[in-house]
Amino acid sequence: MVDFIDYEQTEPRQRATAVSSDDVHIKLDDWSVVGQSTVHDYGEDWVTYGRETAVHRALNQRKNEFTNLQPCRVLCVTWNVNGQLPSEDLDTLLSVDDRPADVICVGFQELDLSPETLLLMNDSSKELMWMEKMKAGLPKGVSYKLLKHIRLVGILLVVYVRESMISRVSEVYIGSVSTGIMGMLGNKGGVSIKFNIDMTTISIVNSHLAAHQEMVERRNQDYRDIFTKMRFDNDEANTLKNCDIVVWIGDLNYRVSEDEITGEEIRALAEKWEIGPLLRFDQLREQRNKHLVFEEFVEDTINFMPTYKYNPGTDKFDTSEKCRTPAWCDRILWKSNTVLKCEDYRSHPIHKLSDHKPVSAVLLVQTRVVDVQKKQLVLDEILKDLDRIANDSLPQAALNRTELNFDGVKYLEAQEQPITLQNTGTDLFEFEFIPKLEDRSICAPWLRIEPQKGVVDPGNVMIINFTVYIDNRALKTIGPDRKLDEILVLHLVNGKDYFISVSGYLVQTSFGRKITDLVRIPDPIRRQNLLVDIEQSPDEVKVDEESPVALNIPKELWRIVDYLYQHALFEEELFAVRGSPMDIGAVRDAIDTDGPIQVSSIHSVAESLILFLDSFPDPVIPYEHYPVCLEYCTHFANSKRALRNMDFSHRNVFKYICAFLREILSHSERNRSNAKFLSQVFGDVLLKPQLPEAGNVAKSTSKKRSLFVYQFLTNDYDE
Amino acid sequence: MSGRPRQNGPAQAKALQFKLVLLGESAVGKSSLVLRFVKGQFHEYQETTIGAAFLTQTVTVDGVTVKFEIWDTAGQERYHSLAPMYYRGAQAAIIVYDITNRDTFERAKSWVKELDRQARKDIVIALAGNKFDLSNKRMVEVEEGSAYAQEHNLIFMETSAKTGDNVSNVFVEIAKMLPKVEPKPNNNGQTVRIDDNQEAQNGGGPGCCSKN
């Protein structure tokens, strides 16, 4: 708890400011309920630093560390003026204290009882007069500014602030709640002005609650309505609840209960100044003791006579026909989350124009003032903490390795290596492989990653498998150096990226080589079972365009076809049944090393032939001749002419394959082969478009491709 | 009336947030600079960064807080092609070299050229000659770094992640150069609007905004 700062110590400095009361400006315009609240930028300072709600909250929690408390004297006055004109001077109400207040809040009720005011809520000339009177009655020697005023029919609230303090005031808002008939007419209800002094939020409420002895519950309800329904600046979040200090003044209309004591007895006690006994029957005290109204509010001890009801112009209690019982209708209460001291609580019987006496209280409140330098230090600490929390909560992971080496990858032979991704943090994280810059896919076609994304719980390990598999599609993306090189970006969502390098090389193979290269290589393309590192690879066979052409067709093609010729001429369903991967590997090794072909199924060799033909970077019918061949697919003479224009080796391969297929067809009564099927299969292998074709186009060109081949299977062809 | 920002609720001002990337040859001390700046630590044998580490750090400059999203990239040449993923869109870059290794200074220069070509036009670049603590083994004179920086309009500082010298200064200097979208509210020019004559003359009635 913060100790109360003695006002005396700081007062002299403030008192030194003496300015003429002419500096008090009063706004004399529309007095209706809807008003423009005022704003200034002090709050910005607080807000600007708090870019994030977290910073704002942390600063708020630690505000004691960078704020000092400064005393502020608030004079609150409430008076039911019974619709009278201000015939009395008000310095006897507003300037009675030795020490002029810093803030003066004046609340009137029944300021104007004229029917027009009640029904039309128009300007009130009486208000104007009362404002002038107040201005004249403010303490002399101190300059005040009218901070704000608000009127709801006859309920007027005016707040003045010392001019020298104005720079410390911000966030000025107004609000009102009508509790009169149907909640519409404002003859009963409350108005409020809310403002900050330094960092402390203060609301003053002036209310006029329901009248009459028996209407206690109605008054309680009026209080609750005003407290809960009050909104400032039409903002649902801006209520009386989030104020540091609420001072509630007004004609609360609570009477002295006549349940246990008669009106005559009350009047008799009052006339004898027997305040104590009478207060025992004060309805407000009763209701508050039962926690039915003004919970959490505090009221100072009443040492003054009942303020109601007097014969106007006198200090005599009501002698009219109604003969109202004396009561303390006019009250001042407050609730505060800091220490608040009430210096004086009194009535002002000298004022006689109304049937009520004014009541006032001098409250010593404490406002929070920011020490800018201290605040900066606290802010720096908070930001550092928040950064630390943010950085600590980033996903934390460990990879068992970031480099994968695939040495000696063989065509069509998958190799797999795992990486383990461990969550070493305290929260689960998501990971995903992301494409690099403009790349669409996350890795090269020869690499497969499983899984590509996922979630890892704290302490858990995810095994990510990397599989290198080189098929004909992947072959086309591998350079002549046969190097495999790829960097993958493994991204932890909301965190760091890891780079995973995958490298290796493809074992030398005839698959995927150009026909024009293969016919220049008379030796086996690879020495048997030699799997040495590519850098010193002695199996590299250098080929250039200048080398002499040694062979009519690639020897590997000859090996495969020759094998089929010897073993498969009578085989049914050739090229329709798939082989086994192991056999295909064996065929690959056999033709690459010039070893014997040993397979379990003849169909593996047949499939190897298809794969081999399909692997050429430039198809058997070269891309540049493809359009012409399609055009002539039903014109054999032209087709032959087209063929003559092709490269010698390509033409030879085409002729060789066709001759072989015709040989198969010549045994069709045994192997049940037919030219249509074979030309379909080989049409799509021997002829290929350079760019992928759309589905419907591909269908018609496929037919043309097979027609082109068909001609050569059904006609003898000799140049 | 509803157009005016609320002032006593939670802060709604947007964070000043900037993406900052560290570039430079391998082993010049990029990660060490970040570690020193963010956590105040130094490891003699800092692990090689294989990827791009991400951290955040806030600095306050002239009362304005600036939050950096720091991407500390791998310096090895083999990862060079991935760097644009990180400097693309960055508002700030620190290009680091090692004052005891001339090659790293040359590499730093080529980073400057690459950023000139490929990065945002308004990127704020700082050139940091790191390992100032080893200045007895210096191979790049401070004048040389400074002159190059001046010529290319870069912030320049020699730093030591080991001793902490100038480390946060680099970030602070960058923060100063970055555009502050939100103007700093004037602390001294506090004015309060009150009901006064001027407003009355303007016919400021209910609902009439007094900000004019």
The reported pLDDT for the residue numbered A528 is 47
Q: Which residue has the higher pLDDT, A14 or B23?
A: B23
The reported pLDDT for the residue numbered A183 is 52
Which domain, by its residues, includes B102? 15-183
Residue of B nearest to A60 (CA): B10
- In a domain, residue B207? The reply is no
| Contact residues, chain A, for B67 at CB < 8 Å | 51
Q: Is the pLDDT of residue A226 over 60?
A: yes
- In a domain, residue B5? The reply is no
Of residues A49, A380, A499, nearest to B50 (C-beta):
A499
Instruction: Give mean pLDDT, residues A112-133.
Output: 75
Q: Which of residues 424-483 of A touch B (CB under 8 A)?
A: 436-437
| Contact residues, chain B, for A43 at CB < 8 Å | 7-8
Q: How many distinct structural domains can be found in chain B?
A: 1
Domains, in order of start, for chain A: 20-66+372-387 (no CATH), 67-370 (3.60.10.10), 397-506 (2.60.40.10), 515-531+539-713 (1.10.555.10)
**Of B127, B80, B91, nearest in space to B108 by CA:** B127
Q: Give the number of other Cβ atoms within 10 Å of residue B96's Cβ.
A: 31
Range of A177-181, A391-395, A495-499 with top mean pLDDT: A495-499
Q: Is the pLDDT of residue A487 over 60?
A: yes
Residue of B nearest to A32 (CA): B206
- In a domain, residue B209? The reply is no
**pLDDT confidence band for A119 (50 / 70 / 90):** low
Mean pLDDT lowest for which of A178-192, A563-577, B165-179?
Answer: A178-192
Q: Which of residues 194-233 of A touch B (CB under 8 A)?
A: 196, 201, 233
**A453 Rama class: left (phi>0) / alpha (psi -120 to 50) / beta:** beta
Q: Which of residues 355-394 of A touch B (CB under 8 A)?
A: 372, 376, 379-380, 383-384, 386-388, 390-391, 394
Tell me what percent of the residues of chain B surpass a pLDDT of 70.
78
Assembly ipTM = 0.81
Q: Which residue has the tokens 């080398």?
A: A547
The reported pLDDT for the residue numbered A207 is 96
Determine whether the interchain pair B11/A52 forms a contact, defined as Cβ–Cβ distance below 8 Å: yes
- In a domain, residue B30? The reply is yes
Instruction: Give mean pLDDT, residues A567-573.
Output: 94
**pLDDT confidence band for A53 (50 / 70 / 90):** confident
**Of B67, B71, B104, nearest in space to B86 by CA:** B71
B41 inside 8 A of chain A by CB: no
Q: Which residue has the higher pLDDT, A291 or A393?
A: A291
| CA A573 – CA B38 distance, rounded (Å) | 71
- In a domain, residue B8? The reply is no
Q: Which of residues 231-290 of A touch B (CB under 8 A)?
A: 233-235, 237-238, 242
The reported pLDDT for the residue numbered A242 is 85
**Of A131, A149, A133, A182, nearest in space to A38 by CA:** A149
| Contact residues, chain B, for A388 at CB < 8 Å | 39
Instruction: Give mean pLDDT, residues A463-485.
Output: 93
Report the CATH number at residue B171.
Answer: 3.40.50.300
- In a domain, residue B45? The reply is yes
**pLDDT confidence band for A237 (50 / 70 / 90):** confident
Q: Which residue has the higher pLDDT, A84 or B193?
A: A84
Tell me what percent of the residues of chain A surpass a pLDDT of 90.
69
Q: Is the pLDDT of residue A240 over 80?
A: yes
**pLDDT confidence band for B5 (50 / 70 / 90):** very low
A39 inside 8 A of chain B by CB: yes
The reported pLDDT for the residue numbered A182 is 57
Of residues B7, B12, B209, nearest to A171 (C-beta):
B7
Q: Is the pLDDT of residue A284 over 80?
A: yes
Asked whether the whole model's pTM tops 0.80, one would answer: no
Of residues B2, B38, B204, nearest to A36 (C-beta):
B204
| CA A101 – CA A162 distance, rounded (Å) | 8
- In a domain, residue B154? The reply is yes
| Contact residues, chain B, for A149 at CB < 8 Å | 195
| Contact residues, chain B, for A376 at CB < 8 Å | 60, 63
Residue of B nearest to A196 (CA): B8
| CA A188 – CA B27 distance, rounded (Å) | 78
Closest-CA distance, A145 to chain B, in angstroms, reads 8
Half-sphere exposure of B34 (CA within 13 A, CB side): 27
- The predicted-structure confidence for A422-463, as pLDDT tens digits, reads as follows 999 999 999 999 999 878 889 999 999 999 999 999 999 999
- In a domain, residue B210? The reply is no
Instruction: Give mean pLDDT, residues A155-173.
Output: 95
- The predicted-structure confidence for A90-104, as pLDDT tens digits, reads as follows 999 999 999 999 999
Mean pLDDT lowest for which of A123-127, A188-192, A346-350, B161-165?
Answer: A123-127
| CA A708 – CA A408 distance, rounded (Å) | 39
Here the tokens at position A279 are: 């207060």
Mean pLDDT lowest for which of A22-36, A384-398, B119-133, B153-167?
Answer: A22-36
